[in-house]
Amino acid sequence: MQSFVLYNSEQRKKVEFVPRKEGHIDLYVCGMTVYDYCHIGHARTVIAFDYIIRFLRSQGWQVKYVRNITDVDDKIIKRANENGEKISDLTSRFIDAMNEDFAKLGCLEPDASPKATDHIDQMQNMIGTLVDNGTAYPANNGDVYFEVEKFAKYGRLSGRKLEDMQAGASERVDVEVEKKHPFDFVLWKHAKENEPSWASPWGNGRPGWHIECSAMSTCCLGNHFDIHGGGADLSFPHHENEIAQSEAATGEQYVNYWMHAGFINVDGEKMSKSLGNFFTIRDVIEKFHPEVVRYFIVSSHYRSPVNYSDVALKEAKNTLSRFYHSFKAYQQAYGEVSTQQFDDALVEKFNAAMRDDFNTPEAIAILFEINKELNRAVKEENAEQAGIYYSTLRHLTNILGLVQYNVDEFLKSDIGQETLGLTEEQIEDLIQQRKDAKKAKEFAKADEIRQSLLDQGVVLEDTRQGTIWRRAD
């Protein structure tokens, strides 16, 4: 395995990764609050860490991937009450839906998926430690708060300082009279009517959101682990608060590296239900093939903001189809068999791009370079070179979780098919018409058909095995 660099959000720069244990990486990613279907923003984060993990494992790293499930929360309680159903029924239904959605997007399952309700004891133990060492305090209303002024390094992840945040704090945070400081955050919430609760030393209640991730991550990975990830929106206050309560409780550094996936905007605006531009994963894959959605996300750097639109997804469909058409051309000429021999220089070029903070735009540019060489080798009927490029391309697309479908199955999919212009059946029909025209010595007509296809982005290659076609590069 080789070293790699990643952007550490806490240091605000790219740094070389140094594992705590040789050859091993422990990675925790903040997961979903399961009260509704997952949206396209969730897909952005989960797919990003999915291809990061796939790449690291392809390089020989042993990655333990933990992604939690928040199954007790204000929004969950509110939705269950609105639906008139048990909280456990609601969360179970949406956990199943979440797993179905991410499976369709080609995402690997985490090695562990801890649920908050299964770790109440660990949360209470951590809160008890914080109360005992004076960094947390029970309030008269039955809540327990973390006292941010007792943690000297509060704000180090987000780059914020308490003294700067205090100005106008009453306009930005809920200032409760029970708090000692406006930014003190709740660790344990006192029980309210019609809400789930657990017995605790501070009375019946339930955990706050932030303590859930600290308890689950340290339970699964230890007090100090390698990488913590999540969406950029979680950096403050969630991840900032995780650091404070975890380090105050354990006396150890919580995490070595912080990674945050960028936002998804919709037509240039932040995705929001109030703006009517909120899309669930299920909304999107009704219109576009799931792998098109994956390609759309993979093709942007994980830290960059992404602008979602139907136009962008249609472009992704057309671009991804180029790989499928090249594979089809190879398979038409030589069958399914590949050499399992790779072009080592191109593989290394791809790996170097990914080792540089998982630079997928550069990696995909290299895939298209290989794709072009594959098409050239097929055209020139160089079976040996074609086999090497085909094997290389299939190996590298596998690392990104792309081109995973049967070629004909993907190309014949009617999801987003209108974006392709001519369908495969129409192209094959025109090729047959051209063949019939040549047989009848109507060469002008044959040339017209060839040019018509070229004008619509379809390139024909006449080989000894017959005419094959591909989308123009």
> Binding site for Zn(2+): what residues are annotated?
30, 213, 238, 242
Between strands 225-231 and 185-190, the pairing is unpaired
Quote the CA–CA distance of 93 and 202 in Å, as a whole number.
32
Q: How far is CA 267 from CA 22, 216, 264, 385, in A?
A: 44, 36, 10, 43
Between strands 24-33 and 225-231, the pairing is parallel
Between strands 466-471 and 306-308, the pairing is unpaired
Give the closest residue to 367 by CA, choosing from 392, 332, 338. Answer: 392
Quote the CA–CA distance of 350 and 395 in Å, as a whole number.
11
Binding-site residues for ATP sit at: 273
Bridge partners for 64 per DSSP: 26
User: Which residues have a Cβ under 8 Å from the Cβ of 179 and sit 6 or more positions away?
Assistant: 139, 145
Cβ pair 377, 400 in contact under 8 A: no
What 3-state class would DSSP assign to 416? Answer: coil
E strand or H helix that includes residue 333: helix 310-334
Quote the CA–CA distance of 166 and 171 in Å, as a whole number.
10
Quote the CA–CA distance of 85 and 336 in Å, as a whole number.
51
What are the residue ranges of helices labelled H in 335-423? 344-355, 360-379, 383-399, 407-411
Exposed/middle/buried for 141, CB within 10 Å: 0-12, 13-18, 19+?
exposed
Binding-site residues sit at: 30, 213, 238, 242, 273
Cβ pair 112, 220 in contact under 8 A: yes
Q: What is the DSSP string of 399-415?
A: HTT-S-S-HHHHHT--T
Quote the CA–CA distance of 227 and 305 in Å, as a whole number.
21
- Angle value at C-alpha 390, between 385 and 395, nearest 5 degrees: 130
Q: How far is CA 383 from CA 132, 199, 337, 339, 432, in A?
A: 72, 70, 11, 10, 25
Which two tokens mark 272? Answer: 């929001």
Give the closest residue to 12 by CA, choosing from 334, 342, 257. Answer: 257
